[in-house]
């Protein structure tokens, strides 16, 4: 990625064919799709990349078994195909995980769920029972081909296998379990990887750039004005096409020439809370579990970065959508469900992290609860020509981007087909690609390979050049100080929170270890040496992390979460 200074130079006062507002997964996807079809593209992100829902998801690349209940079959099928494609395009970053639905004690397996899993299998299938012609036409429709990862059908496993995969169930005498597959990822890393690919095709991206106005001439959107965060300066960029990909904020970007309210979406925000627990306290081993959470609701308990991730809730929300916090009653609800199911006695004080996110659900005006509102994406077009793409899921980013750029292509009558189904996202690292310098252990190298793929070499080069940077950011965790330097140098990270919440995920994986300015000082120093901070500024930046952590509510074990 260009440095911010270079990106400002390339964007301010210039003209691009496409300007994208929002640097979450949707905006990143639109930038990649448009740039790879030959458009000149600039992307502007108000805060940091993936700061919104795209860093606050459940980290699943999945079809969404529960949407079958709402008969959202099209959405599930589309998401399942994308899931397979993502494993192919980003094999280092999107990986299959076994999911268990266990029957405990006297319980019998839920037959209705078994039927649902049958459907899930069939909908994920791209090969069985298809003629050659069907397979060829599916390739034309950009569905994964024969060489893609394809999950095994769901099956029933016995008690021993259940306990081997999910030791946390040991106290609950599982009889057996359904086993099926879905995929997991690091959501922010997926966004950064897509942005990296977009840049390879010539897109220019800038964070800390809040779009404040859609500029129009003769009723047509001709660009945007934005405020650059460091200087506070207002800048403009001209565009043939303006794409609003601001997720839950999509109804706040409004060109002057808005004729009808139906030209922009009405967002019905829904908050989801997640908890992180030490794997020693809730050992998921290799598998995720589906956990009943009352009134027919299900939550997940997933292994993630060596911790156990529990989520999520789904409640209408009218609070601060920029910094949503995990609410006390959501935390209590999730802990109660986990304790009931696994026979544990976990409380707030056992949490190593927590976060909340707000889903950009589209309100159709009917009074349905957020749980029942479809996750389908919608594309809107104003009379000024601004396109808004919102709703959807992390998993379906590519389809959303395609839908948007197809509309731009159609407007212009260009011959420019979509290529994103065949563009690898980053590059997998082969064994031997990553030669670790002294002090960088196997766990760190493995994590770097997951997070950056082949590009992990750059982190290792930084660590090799300065052995101080081969040290972990948090003692005992595999994330390296060298990653902070890389984040500032190549990924436009601007502050400690950018590194702790998004470039690494330590802010939610190890919140109790990051409670003091002293604990984050080595990180502030590593960032500061790259960004030219004085000693005083390094102290200020370390203190600023404490404020950011409190604002986000990442550490309920330190300060009980407030309701609301």
Ligand X SMILES: Cc1cc2nc3c(=O)[nH]c(=O)nc-3n(C[C@H](O)[C@H](O)[C@H](O)COP(=O)(O)OP(=O)(O)OC[C@H]3O[C@@H](n4cnc5c(N)ncnc54)[C@H](O)[C@@H]3O)c2cc1C
By beta-carbon proximity to ligand X, the closer residue of 214 and 456 is: 214
Work out how close the CB of 379 gets to ligand X at its nearest, in angstroms, rounded to a whole number: 12
Query: What is the number of other CB atoms lying within 10 angstroms of the CB of residue 315?
Result: 16
Q: What are the structure tokens assigned to 337, written together?
A: 């469900």
> In the bound complex, what is the minimum distance in angstroms from residue 439's beta carbon to ligand X?
35
Task: Give 141's contacts (C-beta < 8 A, 6+ positions apart).
Answer: none
Tokens 């459940």 sit on residue = 58
Residue number with CB closer to ligand X (2 or 436): 2
Q: Which is nearer to ligand X, 52 or 174 (CB)?
A: 52
Report which of 517, 263, 485, 462 is spatially closest to residue 381, judged by C-alpha positions.
263
Alpha-carbon distance of 269 to 199, in angstroms, equals 31
The answer to whether the CB of 181 falls within 8 A of the CB of 155 is no
Rounded Cα gap, residues 402 and 396, in angstroms: 10
Tell which residue, 323, 25, 324, has the closest CA to residue 312: 324
DSSP state of 290: E
Distance CA 227, CA 236 (A): 9
Measure the CA–CA gap between 506 and 307, rounded to whole angstroms.
Answer: 11
Q: State the residue for tokens 């949490």.
A: 351
With tokens 């998401």, the residue in question is 79
How many Å is the maximal CA-CA distance in the chain?
71
Closest to ligand X by CB, 87 or 248 = 248
In whole angstroms, the minimum distance from the beta carbon of 191 to ligand X comes to 8
Closer CB to ligand X, 41 or 462, in the complex? 41
CB of 316 to ligand X, least distance (A): 13
Task: Please say which residue, 34 or 482, places its beta carbon nearer to ligand X.
Answer: 34
The rounded distance, in Å, linking the Cα atoms of 58 and 351 is 17
**Residue with smaller CB distance to ligand X, 57 or 404:** 57
Minimum gap (Å) between residue 94 Cβ and ligand X: 11
Closer to ligand X by Cβ: residue 177 or 242: 242
Please state the closest distance from residue 312 (CB atom) to ligand X, in A.
Answer: 5
CB of 252 closer than 8 Å to CB of 390:
no
Residues forming contacts to ligand X in the complex (CB under 6 A) are 21-27, 44-47, 51-54, 56-60, 62, 210-211, 245-249, 253, 272, 312, 357-360, 390, 392-395
How far apart CA 552 and CA 529 sit, in angstroms, is 26
Shortest distance (Å) from residue 295 CB to ligand X = 19
| Beta carbon of residue 106, minimum distance to ligand X (angstroms, whole number) | 32
* b/e code 318-331 from CB counts within 10 Å (16+ = b): eeebeebbbbbebb
Of 227 and 427, nearer to ligand X (C-beta) is 227
How many residues belong to the chain?
A: 564
Judging by DSSP bridges, how do beta strands 288-292 and 95-104 pair with one another?
parallel
Burial track 366-381 (b if 16+ CB lie within 10 A, e otherwise): eeeebbebbbbbbbbe
Q: How far is the CB of 403 from ligand X (least distance, A)?
A: 13
In the bound state with ligand X, the residue whose beta carbon lies nearer, of 317 and 545, is 317
CB 86 to ligand X: min, Å: 10
CB nearer to ligand X: give 29 or 478.
29
* Residues 390 and 25: beta-carbon distance below 8 Å: no
**Among residues 59 and 505, whose Cβ is nearest to ligand X?**
59
Residue 546 Cβ vs ligand X, minimum distance, rounded to whole Å: 22
Concatenating the DSSP letter of every residue in 188-227 gives HHHHHHHHHHHHHTT-EEESSEEEEEEEEETTEEEEEEEE
Q: Tokens at residue 540, please?
A: 């200020």
CB of 231 to ligand X, least distance (A): 16
């Amino acid at each position: 990625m260009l440095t911010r200074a270079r990106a400002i130079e390339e964007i301010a006062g210039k003209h691009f064919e496409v300007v994208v507002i929002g640097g979450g997964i949707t905006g990143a996807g639109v930038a990649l799709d448009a740039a790879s079809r030959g458009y000149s593209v600039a992307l502007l992100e108000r805060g940091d990349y993936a700061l919104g829902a795209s860093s606050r998801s459940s980290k699943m690349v999945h079809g969404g078994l529960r949407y079958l209940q709402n008969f959202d079959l099209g959405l599930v099928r589309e998401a399942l195909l994308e899931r397979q494609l993502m494993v192919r395009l980003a094999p280092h970053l999107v990986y299959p995980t076994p999911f268990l639905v266990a029957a405990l004690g006297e319980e019998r397996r839920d037959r209705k769920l078994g039927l649902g899993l049958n459907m899930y299998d069939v909908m994920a299938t791209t090969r069985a029972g298809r003629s050659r012609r069907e397979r060829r036409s599916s390739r034309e429709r950009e569905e994964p081909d024969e060489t893609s990862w394809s999950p095994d059908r769901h099956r029933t496993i016995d008690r021993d296998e259940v306990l081997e995969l999910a030791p946390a169930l040991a106290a609950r005498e599982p009889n057996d379990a359904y086993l099926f597959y879905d995929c997991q990822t690091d959501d922010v890393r997926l966004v950064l990887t897509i942005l990296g690919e977009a840049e390879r095709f010539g897109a220019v991206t800038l964070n800390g750039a809040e779009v404040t106005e859609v500029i129009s001439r003769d009723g047509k959107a001709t660009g945007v004005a934005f405020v650059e965060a460091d200087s506070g300066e207002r800048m403009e960029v001209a565009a043939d096409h303006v794409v609003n990909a601001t997720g839950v904020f999509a109804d706040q970007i409004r060109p002057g020439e808005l004729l009808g309210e139906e030209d922009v979406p009405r967002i019905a925000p829904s908050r989801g809370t997640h908890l992180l627990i030490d794997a020693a306290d809730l050992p998921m081993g290799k598998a995720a579990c589906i956990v009943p959470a009352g009134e027919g609701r299900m939550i997940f308990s997933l292994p993630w970065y060596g911790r156990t991730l529990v989520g999520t809730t789904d409640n209408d929300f009218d609070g601060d959508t920029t910094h949503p916090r995990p609410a006390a009653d959501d935390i209590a609800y999730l802990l109660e469900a986990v304790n009931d199911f696994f026979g544990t006695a976990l409380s707030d004080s056992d949490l190593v992290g927590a976060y909340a996110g707000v889903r950009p659900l589209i309100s159709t005006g009917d009074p349905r609860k957020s749980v029942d509102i479809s996750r389908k994406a919608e594309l809107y077009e104003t009379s000024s020509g601004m396109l808004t793409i919102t709703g959807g899921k992390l998993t379906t980013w590519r389809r959303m981007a395609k839908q948007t750029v197809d509309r731009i292509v159609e407007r212009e009558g260009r011959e420019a087909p979509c290529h994103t189904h065949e563009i690898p996202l980053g590059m997998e690292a082969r064994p031997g690609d990553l030669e670790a310098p002294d002090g960088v252990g196997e766990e760190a190298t493995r994590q770097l390979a997951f997070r950056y793929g082949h590009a992990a070499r750059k982190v290792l080069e930084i660590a090799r050049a300065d052995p101080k940077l081969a040290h972990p950011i948090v003692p005992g965790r595999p994330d390296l100080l060298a990653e902070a330097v890389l984040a500032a140098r190549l990924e436009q990270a601007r502050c400690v929170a950018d590194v702790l919440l998004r470039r690494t995920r330590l802010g939610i994986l190890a919140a109790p270890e990051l409670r003091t300015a002293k604990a984050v000082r080595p990180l502030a120093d590593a960032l500061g040496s790259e960004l030219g901070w004085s000693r005083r500024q390094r102290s200020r930046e370390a203190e600023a992390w404490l404020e950011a952590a409190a604002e986000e509510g990442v550490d309920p074990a330190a300060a009980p979460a407030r309701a609301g």
